């Protein structure tokens, strides 16, 4: 039944998605860069589905300062997609958030001169020679200004929200009843990030975000499948029933932490039709607060997406070191701490577009 719900969530999210662009994210589908965010991403390795609603359509027209806002939601199965296909149980993990920010353009001179051109045009509807000469001079000034500098913009934002995990924890092996042994855990956490995105056309976008988060260590617990067998004797016949379920084992901890994310995106034209956006190097630093049992972790990786300039589909790969300095002491072999995955994205703007500002 939960898998049915999951599929319905997928369908609903896909139907109500809005236009957006494409970004190369990390293995968890996260990025410090919001203005190039993908509306739909489906990570085949982690079974994560994400969607966002935003007013990025307004960014199609560059103004000196623009308000940006958006809502985002993501859902995933902790055990990955393969477990679902193999008949495993769904362990839902969900996250909802909202962000608001301002985007400042550094094309100040150009935008001021363009405003002046418009004022002249509006004041001279007869398009007399004097006004036309003035407009030509202003256009020359704009071109001189633009020939010497790249386009740049800075977006400052706050992103906050809630996350949730629902699962069963095998807690007390000595407990007499099953319900006492398998505790149902409904974790509710939260997060708040402050971030900056700097665009330097035509190649680079830099992102950094510092955040505070209430989180848990579900990722480090082991998932075990159990079979409950019960028998009943009916006359001389024995009736046996079986039910299967999964639960997590280990020491469960909910804690507070600081997150620091950085991303460096590189844009390139591969061919006439194909483009790529390469997250050349992203880093994720996790610093637990007041919790000695949780180690700090430093992750780093690279991710690349290829997409057709006029297409809606994008596909990409990521390679990530989940614990660069081996703080978790999981294995001394560097290559065993690497993860590799495939990400597929699809923009549904052609099917249904939404503009929440209208």
Partner 1 sequence: MKLFTLSATARGKTGKIIAVSYSLKKSAGVSLSDNGFNIGYTNINLDQDQSTDPNIFSTKGKQKYLCLMEEEGLQVTLYANGMSGDYWTLDILVDGVPLNEGTIKVYTDTKGHLDYDKLIK
Question: Which of 131/217 has CB closer to partner 1?
Answer: 131
Q: What is the closest distance, in whole angstroms, from the C-beta atom of residue 349 to partner 1 in the complex? A: 6
Question: Of all helices (H) and strands (E), which one includes residue 138?
Answer: helix 129-147
Q: Cα(200)–Cα(113) distance, rounded to whole angstroms?
A: 21
Q: What is the closest distance, in whole angstroms, from the C-beta atom of residue 109 to partner 1 in the complex? A: 11
Q: What is the closest distance, in whole angstroms, from the C-beta atom of residue 23 to partner 1 in the complex? A: 11
Q: What is the closest distance, in whole angstroms, from the C-beta atom of residue 329 to partner 1 in the complex? A: 41
Q: Which two tokens stand for residue 333?
A: 């072999």
Question: Which of 204/298 has CB closer to partner 1?
Answer: 204
Find the radius of gyration of the CA atoms of the chain. 26
Q: Residues interacting with partner 1, by CB under 8 A? A: 19-22, 36, 56-57, 59-64, 107, 110-111, 114-115, 117-118, 121-122, 125-129, 131-132, 135, 139, 142-143, 146-147, 149-151, 200-203, 205, 267-270, 275, 309-310, 347, 349-350, 353, 355
Q: Cα(321)–Cα(315) distance, rounded to whole angstroms?
A: 21
Question: Which of 118/188 has CB closer to partner 1?
Answer: 118
Identify the bridge partners of residue 276 per DSSP, sorted by sequence position.
268, 306
> Apex CA 215: angle with CA 213 and CA 217, to 5°?
145
Closest CA to 151 of 69, 67, 68, 59: 59
DSSP string covering 336-358:
GGEEEEEEEEE--TTT----TT-
Q: What is the closest distance, in whole angstroms, from the C-beta atom of residue 27 to partner 1 in the complex? A: 24
| Contacts for 111 with CB less than 8 Å, ≥ 6 apart | 62, 63, 64, 105
Question: Which of 172/201 has CB closer to partner 1?
Answer: 201
Question: Which of 178/270 has CB closer to partner 1?
Answer: 270
Q: What is the closest distance, in whole angstroms, from the C-beta atom of residue 123 to partner 1 in the complex? A: 12
Q: Cα(18)–Cα(355) distance, rounded to whole angstroms?
A: 8
CB 259 within 8 A of CB 223: no
Q: What is the closest distance, in whole angstroms, from the C-beta atom of residue 301 to partner 1 in the complex? A: 22
> Apex CA 49: angle with CA 165 and CA 265, to 5°?
115
Location of structure tokens 């398998």? 182
Q: What is the closest distance, in whole angstroms, from the C-beta atom of residue 253 to partner 1 in the complex? A: 42
Question: Which of 152/171 has CB closer to partner 1?
Answer: 152
Task: Classify 175 as helix, strand or coil.
Answer: coil
Q: Cα(287)–Cα(251) distance, rounded to whole angstroms?
A: 19
Question: Which of 6/56 has CB closer to partner 1?
Answer: 56
Question: Which of 149/244 has CB closer to partner 1?
Answer: 149
């Amino acid at each position: 039944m939960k898998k049915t719900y999951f599929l319905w969530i997928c369908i609903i999210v896909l139907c109500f998605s809005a236009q957006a662009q494409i970004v190369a994210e990390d293995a968890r589908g996260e990025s410090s860069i919001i203005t190039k965010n993908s509306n739909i991403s489906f990570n085949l390795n982690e079974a994560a589905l994400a969607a966002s609603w935003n007013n990025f359509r307004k960014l199609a027209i560059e103004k000196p300062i623009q308000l940006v806002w958006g809502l985002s939601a993501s859902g995933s199965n902790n055990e990955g997609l393969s477990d679902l296909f193999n008949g495993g149980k769904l362990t839902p993990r969900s996250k909802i958030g909202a962000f608001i920010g301002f985007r400042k353009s550094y094309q100040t001179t150009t935008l001021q001169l363009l405003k002046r051109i418009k004022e002249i045009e509006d004041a001279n509807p007869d398009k007399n020679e004097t006004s036309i000469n003035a407009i030509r001079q202003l256009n020359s000034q704009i071109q001189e200004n633009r020939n010497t500098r790249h386009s740049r913009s800075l977006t400052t934002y706050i992103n906050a929200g809630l996350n949730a995990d629902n699962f069963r924890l095998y807690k007390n092996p000595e407990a007499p009843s099953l319900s006492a042994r398998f505790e149902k855990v409904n974790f509710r956490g939260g997060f708040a990030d402050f971030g900056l995105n700097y665009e330097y056309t035509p190649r680079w976008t830099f992102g950094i975000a510092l955040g505070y988060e209430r989180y848990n260590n579900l990722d480090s617990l082991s998932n075990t499948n159990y079979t409950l067998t019960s028998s009943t004797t009916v006359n001389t016949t024995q009736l046996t029933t079986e039910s299967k379920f999964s639960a997590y084992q280990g020491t469960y901890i909910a804690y507070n932490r600081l997150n620091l994310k950085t991303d460096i995106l590189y844009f390139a034209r591969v061919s006439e039709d194909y483009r790529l956006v390469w997250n050349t190097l992203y880093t994720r630093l996790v610093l637990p607060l007041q919790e000695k049992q949780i180690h700090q972790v430093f992750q780093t990786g690279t991710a690349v997406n290829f997409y057709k300039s006029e297409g809606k589909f994008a596909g990409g790969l990521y390679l990530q070191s989940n614990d660069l300095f081996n703080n978790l002491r999981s294995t001394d072999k560097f290559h065993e701490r690497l993860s590799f995955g495939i990400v597929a994205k699809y923009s549904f703007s052609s099917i249904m577009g939404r503009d929440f500002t209208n």
